[in-house]
């Protein structure tokens, strides 16, 4: 077999990733998602689609910056 993994059209990839087709095209255009061309048609390999997913744990709590307005009120 020529391909050893599933490939998706842009609409199929958008359904699989639960993103809009516009987002998939934008990711392709910006080079954030690799495309595979077959007979001039664009396909996306399953591994490329999975590469979009990142599971990270934020070890540091997010610190919210105080706005200038609330800082002035607190500084009275």
| DSSP symbols for 9-27 | -HHHHHHHHT--HHHHHHH
Which residues face 38 on adjacent strands? Answer: 41
* pLDDT tens-digit profile, the chain (76 residues): 466 899 999 999 999 999 999 999 999 999 999 999 999 999 999 999 998 887 667 666 666 777 676 666 666 6
**Contacting residues for 48 by C-beta, under 8 A, at least 6 apart:** 33, 34, 35, 36
CATH of domain 1-53: 1.10.1660
């Amino acid at each position: 077999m020529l391909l050893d993994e599933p490939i998706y059209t842009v609409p199929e990839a958008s359904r699989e990733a639960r993103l809009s087709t516009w987002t998939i095209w934008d990711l392709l255009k910006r080079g954030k998602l690799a495309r595979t061309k077959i007979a001039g048609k664009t396909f996306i390999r399953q591994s490329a689609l999975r590469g979009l997913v990142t599971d990270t744990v934020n070890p540091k709590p997010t610190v919210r910056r105080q706005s200038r307005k609330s800082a002035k009120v607190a500084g009275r």
